[in-house]
Structures are given as structure tokens and as C-alpha cells.
Amino acid sequence: MAITTEQKETIIELYSAYFNRAADAGGANFWINSFETYMANAPTTLLAPSPELYAFIEVLADISTATEYQQLYPSTLENSDFITKIYTNLLGRLPDAGGKDFWVNNLNEGRMTSGEAIIRIIEGAKANTEPQGLKDAALIANKTAISVYFVDYLKSNDGKLSASAFSNITADIASVESTKSVLNIALGVSFKQIVELYSAYFNRAADAGGVEFWEKSFETYRLSAADSLSDALKDQFALTAVSNDISTAAEYQVLYPSALSSNDFITAIYTNLLGRAPDVSGRDFWVNQLDQGGMTKDEAIIWMIEGAKANTEPQGLKDAALIANKTEVSMYFVDPLQSNDVTLAKTALAPLTADESTVVVAKAALDSALGVIHLSANNSLPQQGTEGIADFFIYDIDSSLFIVESSEVVDITLQGFKVGEDKLVFDDVRGKTMTTESFKQSASIESATDTRIIFEKAIVLNNNAVVSEPDVALTLAGVSDFSTVDFSIV
């Protein structure tokens, strides 16, 4: 029996009430599938609850065995404290005295379980038409909208971002769209598409400053899109607007003067994006679209990229592979290399073909040009900087689990790091979701003669619980004050 939208939203609302966070895609879909299974196998005896009620009771019981739940709601927690915590999580306020007494008495006298109480608190808050009730219902609706966006549209399992997703959510509907923009930037929703535009328009890697500018422009346009549009159409509207703005840039004007024919424009885009001349039918299709006003150039280039990636013909598969390789290298140029060297960007994609091995070659060439040294948590040998050279050290971290990427407990020592000359980058493999502040909260930084940065090493158990121990560390030999280190999180 398929789950309804209302039932799905109720499950997602449980995350708000229990954990005060957005639902993660993996967890939400697990409980949604469990609900459907329980519905399908509900008992049919005369006194049995309805399949829906039975499924909710079973899912609630299962959630109560999860480690996250047990850490927040130990068996010793008083019912009074339980109700206060649920109100605070769900409604952002303390319970009124009458409401609190009602729920606590029902729990104390065994008239309902904690799981049944939480379902009724959610439904009661959404149905309350008093002034405070309307505010409560609006806040729940806005939190649910963000959770649904996080699960269905972003399909994110990022634990840290899930935990902070409600930070700016209020009863004001405007807080939903502004929060979506924050999440989009954190997860790089437009990052990949903007990078692809650089390949198609300019046949070069995107520069970090340019991408940052266009990502912000994308979100500004997205916020200006009509409320009636779906999230996908808002993204399409924003990307088209960014593509149009790029076409006004000086670099574009030099390459594509206004006198350039539609035929020459399409040929140039094919050459830049796919490294080949257009086939006759493809060229004629796009030229006709431009000449007959079916679409503008900035719209055409978006559809050309998407069409090339979706083409399953033999040539189409080669085209898609080349685009993927160009995109990967261009994204690497921006994050973690953070480069604004446009001269280097123009040569960054040159080694690439449809062969995936050329990505390794292209990245190695960039590393060499920028003096990059990769620090590996699986290699405990001391790493050495070079005197008189601006070394660029990159260390992979995983922000969603607060850990360093590592298969074993190690302590790396970086020797020869020179303050004022060298740079240290922690590359967030989850994609730009960790801020400098959250990094400092997630890592213990000890400074004496050396600076020792201690991370948490996570062990993921079968029930998805994460147990951590602070055993993985990076030591900067001879650096006594970490605040003087040029470091960033990307």
C-alpha cells in the first residue's frame, strides 16, 4: 500500500519533533519504506487498529530504539521534561501550562505512549486556530517544507547541514526560500551547472571568484522567481538568468561578437563543449531554433549541455564522458584549489578526452603548476614543505561525520610549514558544508611548540549510529599559534 503525501509528511515531521532537524534522505526514505511495509502487513482482526495507525505505532516504536533517540531521550527522562523538549523542538517555544499538564497526565496515567502523544501534539498544533496555534502551524509547515526539500529535491544525507537547516526557519513563509538558498549554496546546487557553462562558453576551467559570484547571482534570481513555480523551474529560471548575464561579460563579448552568425555560434559551442564539429542535423536544429526565435543563445547553451549529457547514442556517450571529465577538473580547479589564475584555467582542460584516466593527468598538471601537496590520512610518514616556495597542502575531511577520511588511526606530522608563505586547505569531501567555525568546533586545536589538530575518527555501525574517538591528528611542526596559519575549509 503506497504511502500518501500526508502520511509521508507526518513521518518527516517526527524528525522536527524528536530531533529538531531536517530529515536526511536516507533516514526518511528508510522510515517511509518501513511504514509502507507495516501498512501492507497490518493485522486484520476485529479489534486491530487501522493499518495507518498500526504502521505509525510500529515506526514510532522503531525510532525509539535508534541511538539518536536514546541519546536525547534516555529512559530516566521525566515525562514533564519529554513534553518540554518536544514543544521546544517542534514549536520553538515552551509549552503552555494547560497543554503541558494535559500531555504529562496522559503519559503518567498510561492513556497513551510517548509515540502516540507526539503524533497528537503535531496534529493538534496544526489544527489549532487560536493566534498562537496559527503561528505554531505555520512554523511546522515551514520546517516540513525544508525537510521535504532536503529529502526529495536535494536528496541530501549531510548530517551537519541537516542539524542546522532549521536555524533561520520561523513562522514567516519567506524564511523557507531564504533557507533553501543557504542549503543550495552549501551543497553547491548550481556549482556544477555554472562550471559547465564555463566549459561551453569559454572552453576553460571556471575560476573560483567567478563561480562564487555566479552562485550568489543564481540564488538571487531564484529568490525572485514566481512562488507558483516548482523548485525545478525556479532553478531553471535562475540558471537561464545567469547564462544571460554571463553573455554580457567582456570575455564573452570578445569570443562571440554580436555580428556572429547563429551557425558560427553553435559551431563554437560544440567545439568548446564537445571538442568536435557539430553533426549536420544537430547544427541545423539549434541554428533554426535561434534564427526562428525558438530560444535565445543563453537558453540554447543550457539545453545543448543537458541534451549532450542525456544522449545514449555511441557519440552521445563519448560527449557525456568528455563533459563529465571537464566538469570534474573544473570543479577541482575551484574547490579545493581555489584558483583564480585565468591563464592556467585556459590550459586546465587541454589534456582531457572522454577517457577517465585523463582526469588524473589534468589534476596532476594543476597540482604541479600550483605546488600542491596532498596529505593522506592513510600515510603516517612525515610530510615536508619546501623552504622559499609557497606550498599548498590539501587534507581531506568529511564534514557530515566530523571525521578525517581515514581507514586507520594515524597522526600525521607536517614539517616545514612556513607561516605567511604556505597554505593549508581542508577539503570537505561532502562539498563545502563545513564552515571555519564548525571546523574549530569539530576539531580540538592544541598549540604549544607545535600545533596539533585532533579530529574525531568515526566508526559507523550497522544501525547507522556513529561512535567517535579523538585519535586522528595533524601536527604542524614548529607552528605555535594556529591563528597565524593561512587555512580554509572548502
Confidence of residue 402 (pLDDT cuts 50, 70, 90): very low
What is the predicted pLDDT for the residue at 280?
Answer: 94
What is the predicted pLDDT for the residue at 131?
Answer: 93
First to last CA, the chain: 44
Name the residue range of residue 247's domain: 191-370
pLDDT digits (tens, 9 = 90+) for 228-282: 999 989 999 999 999 999 989 999 999 988 889 999 999 999 999 999 999 999 9
Q: Is residue 394 part of a domain?
A: yes
What nine digits make up the cell of 370? 600550483
pLDDT digits (tens, 9 = 90+) for 405-414: 444 445 678 8
Confidence of residue 356 (pLDDT cuts 50, 70, 90): very high
pLDDT at 128 over 80: yes
**What proportion of the chain, given as a percentage, has pLDDT over 70?**
87
Same domain, residue pair 152 and 68: yes
Confidence of residue 486 (pLDDT cuts 50, 70, 90): confident
Same domain, residue pair 360 and 483: no
Same domain, residue pair 209 and 106: no
Same domain, residue pair 347 and 379: no
pLDDT at 293 over 50: yes
Domain final residue pick, 370, 394, 422: 370
Q: Is residue 174 part of a domain?
A: no
Same domain, residue pair 379 and 334: no
Q: Is residue 132 part of a domain?
A: yes
What is the predicted pLDDT for the residue at 464?
Answer: 38
The span from the CA of 224 to the CA of 150, in Å, is 21
Unique residue bearing C-alpha cell 548550481: 190
> What single letter denotes the amino acid at residue 49?
P
Domain count, the chain: 3
What is the predicted pLDDT for the residue at 451?
Answer: 82
Confidence of residue 455 (pLDDT cuts 50, 70, 90): low
pLDDT at 349 over 50: yes
What nine digits make up the cell of 238? 535562475
Q: Is residue 70 part of a domain?
A: yes
Write the CATH number for 116: 1.10.3130
Same domain, residue pair 273 and 228: yes
Same domain, residue pair 136 and 206: no
pTM of the model: 0.75
Same domain, residue pair 199 and 348: yes
Same domain, residue pair 363 and 395: no
Same domain, residue pair 325 and 453: no
Per mean pLDDT, which range of 23-27, 306-310, 485-489 is the poorest?
Answer: 485-489
373 bridge partner residues? 393
Count the neighbouring beta carbons within 10 Å of the beta carbon of residue 88: 14
SS3 (DSSP) at 109: coil
What is the predicted pLDDT for the residue at 469?
Answer: 43
